[in-house]
């Protein structure tokens, strides 16, 4: 869709400040980065380190916060510029359009058990396999080579991209998105070790994914040994996130790529974990906790704290430890010099004693 600047400002909840000679009726057809934007596109500035690009951008307008000054440019100011830009993206570009099924909406090349219940508007692509007892809600999209195991329950408006695997008995809420290669409900890493041998423990639980969860490519969520591994409503995973069996991930968590939780970890709501964070098993991570990238968590963390480092500790302490580690080569060199000087002093003292 296209909007005038004035219309777009109203739609995204921003205040329009036209540069001298500019026109609030200029047509806007899309969004682009500051360095790429043309005269009919809008861009945004959320990070101050890119402020220098404001002077050279050809964007029709820039979405930014009210406290940023930029003379000679048409601005759309908003308290949360990135969220306003998100609204502009939705209005101007919309969402990914799913390809039609040539012999659809339910492809004759899909393998669907006769007992499967499909909601109105659901689309199933070729080579998908849907097992006995499965229930899919309305307006779902199941891409090629996806496998849904027996007795799974999947809500409305879900999207399962190619090569997704949902093992038997798993439950998905409404508006769940699973990107390519993601697996839910594989056996948890459960073994009883006796006399050096590892004996598999049956994994009889399942995985429950609540409403509005999105998982990136190649994520893996283990089924519980008993009960359920739970991913609560609104949580978002990047790629290659791994969740151990019996864990409970709270509402609106945000996990960046390669985060890994061991088994039986509980996280509160609104937890954010940077890339490659690892959490040991049977720990409790409080609500509103933030973990810096590559943190190695080995202790419970109370609500609202920010930790980092490996092993993880409060971030202020982790920064000090990191700064000291940077100074280690110089400290080692100084200690070696002190040792040499001390040894030399002792040699000098011994020589003086011998002469006397």
N-terminal to C-terminal alpha carbon distance within the chain: 100
Whether the CB-CB separation of 101 and 107 falls below 8 Å is answered with: yes
Total residues found in the chain within this entry: 356
Give the confidence band of 69 by pLDDT, cuts at 50, 70, 90.
Answer: confident
> Long-range contacts for 134-141 (Cβ within 8 Å, ≥24 apart)?
137/174, 141/98
Give the confidence band of 355 by pLDDT, cuts at 50, 70, 90.
Answer: low
Whether 353 has a pLDDT exceeding 80, the answer reads no
Per residue in 272-293, pLDDT (tens digit) is: 999 999 999 999 999 999 999 9
Give the confidence band of 156 by pLDDT, cuts at 50, 70, 90.
Answer: very high
Q: Is the peptide bond before 18 cis (omega within 30 degrees of 0)?
A: no
Q: How far apart (Å, rounded) are the C-alpha atoms in residues 296 and 305? A: 15
Q: How far apart (Å, rounded) are the C-alpha atoms in residues 265 and 284? A: 6
Give the confidence band of 55 by pLDDT, cuts at 50, 70, 90.
Answer: confident
Give the confidence band of 70 by pLDDT, cuts at 50, 70, 90.
Answer: confident
List of E strands, 201-317: 206-209, 214-215, 220-222, 228-231, 236-237, 242-243, 248-249, 254-255, 260-261, 266-267, 272-273, 278-279, 284-285, 290-291, 296-297, 306-308, 313-314
Q: How far apart (Å, rounded) are the C-alpha atoms in residues 101 and 322? A: 54
Question: What are the structural domains of the chain?
Answer: 3-93 (3.40.1390.10), 111-314 (2.160.10.10)
As a whole number, mean pLDDT of residues 167-186 equals 98
As a whole number, mean pLDDT of residues 108-119 equals 97
Examine the residue annotation and report whether 288 is marked as an active-site residue of this protein: no
Minimum mean pLDDT among 233-242, 293-302, 321-330: which range?
321-330
As a whole number, mean pLDDT of residues 10-19 equals 94
Report CA-CA distances (Å) from 153 to 117, 156, 282, 339, 341.
10, 10, 28, 70, 75
Strand partners, 193: 198
Whether 220 has a pLDDT exceeding 70, the answer reads yes
Q: Which of 17, 125, 179, 245 is catalytic?
A: 245
Nearest to 41 by CA among 33, 55, 31, 53: 31
Average pLDDT, the chain: 94
Give this prediction's pTM: 0.89
């Amino acid at each position: 869709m296209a909007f005038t600047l004035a219309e777009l400002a109203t739609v995204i909840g921003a205040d329009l400040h036209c540069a001298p000679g500019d026109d609030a009726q200029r047509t806007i057809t899309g969004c682009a980065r500051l360095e790429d934007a043309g005269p009919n596109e809008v861009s945004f500035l959320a990070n101050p380190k890119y402020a220098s690009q404001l002077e050279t951008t050809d964007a029709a307008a820039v979405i930014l916060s009210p406290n940023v000054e930029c003379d000679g440019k048409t601005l759309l100011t908003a308290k949360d510029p990135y969220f306003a830009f998100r609204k502009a993206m939705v209005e101007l570009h919309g969402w990914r359009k799913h390809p039609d099924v040539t012999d659809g909406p339910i492809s004759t090349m899909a393998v669907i058990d006769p007992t499967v219940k499909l909601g109105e508007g659901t689309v199933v692509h070729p080579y998908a396999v849907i097992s006995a007892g499965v229930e899919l809600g309305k307006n779902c999209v199941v891409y090629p080579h996806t496998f849904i195991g027996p007795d799974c329950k999947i809500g409305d408006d879900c999207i399962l991209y190619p090569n997704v695997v949902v093992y038997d008995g798993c439950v998905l809420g409404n508006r769940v998105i699973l990107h390519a290669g993601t697996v839910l409900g594989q056996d948890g890493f459960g073994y009883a070790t006796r006399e050096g041998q590892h004996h598999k423990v049956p994994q009889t639980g399942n995985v429950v994914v609540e409403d509005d969860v999105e998982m990136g490519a190649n994520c893996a969520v283990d089924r519980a040994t008993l009960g359920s591994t739970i991913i609560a409503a609104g949580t978002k995973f990047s790629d290659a996130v791994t969740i151990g069996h019996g864990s409970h991930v709270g509402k609106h968590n945000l996990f960046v790529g390669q985060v890994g939780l061991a088994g039986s970890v509980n996280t509160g709501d609104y937890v954010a974990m940077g890339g490659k964070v690892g959490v040991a098993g049977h720990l409790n991570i409080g609500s509103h906790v933030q973990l810096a990238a590559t943190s190695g968590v080995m202790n419970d963390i109370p609500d609202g704290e920010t930790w980092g480092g490996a092993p993880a500790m409060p971030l202020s302490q982790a920064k000090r430890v990191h700064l000291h580690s940077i100074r280690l080569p110089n400290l080692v060199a100084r200690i070696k010099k002190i040792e040499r000087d001390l040894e030399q002093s002792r040699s000098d003292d011994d020589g003086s004693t011998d002469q006397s």
